[in-house]
């Protein structure tokens, strides 16, 4: 039993560490300059091609879903013809 407790203690000490393995560069000021720049674009498209693609995909899926829901609403509101 003590062996399991000691093993658990060693594992917990290894996984919880305050030392960082990688140093990340703080790029907040670069992003602030990009998003505060007055270039006529809305803020959700200032990220570049990825943002534009994501926006168009989301808009397309939303329009498709709305049309699909309206189609099935119309289909379900029509009475079935008896044979």
- In a domain, residue 6? The reply is no
CB 37 within 8 A of CB 46: yes
For the chain, what is the domain count?
Answer: 1
- In a domain, residue 72? The reply is yes
How far is residue 69's CA from residue 75's CA, in Å, rounded to a whole number? 10
Contact partners, residue 35, CB within 8 Å, separation at least 6: 43, 46
Give the range of the structural domain holding residue 57, as residue numbers without chain letter.
Answer: 33-83
pLDDT digits (tens, 9 = 90+) for 44-72: 888 889 999 999 999 999 999 999 999 99
> What's residue 18's pLDDT?
62
CATH code for the domain of 45: 4.10.91.10
- In a domain, residue 73? The reply is yes
- In a domain, residue 79? The reply is yes
- In a domain, residue 22? The reply is no
- In a domain, residue 1? The reply is no
Confidence of residue 14 (pLDDT cuts 50, 70, 90): low
Tokens of 29: 């000021």
How far is residue 83's CA from residue 71's CA, in Å, rounded to a whole number? 24
Tokens of 2: 């003590």
Query: Model's pTM, two decimal places?
Result: 0.57
Contact partners, residue 51, CB within 8 Å, separation at least 6: 44, 45
């Amino acid at each position: 039993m003590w062996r399991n407790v000691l093993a658990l203690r060693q594992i917990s000490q290894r996984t919880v560490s305050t030392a960082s393995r990688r140093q990340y560069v703080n790029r907040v000021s670069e992003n602030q300059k990009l998003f505060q720049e007055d270039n006529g674009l809305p803020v959700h498209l200032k990220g570049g091609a990825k943002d534009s693609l994501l926006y168009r995909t989301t808009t397309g899926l939303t329009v498709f879903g709305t049309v699909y829901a309206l189609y099935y609403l119309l289909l379900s509101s029509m009475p079935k013809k008896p044979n």
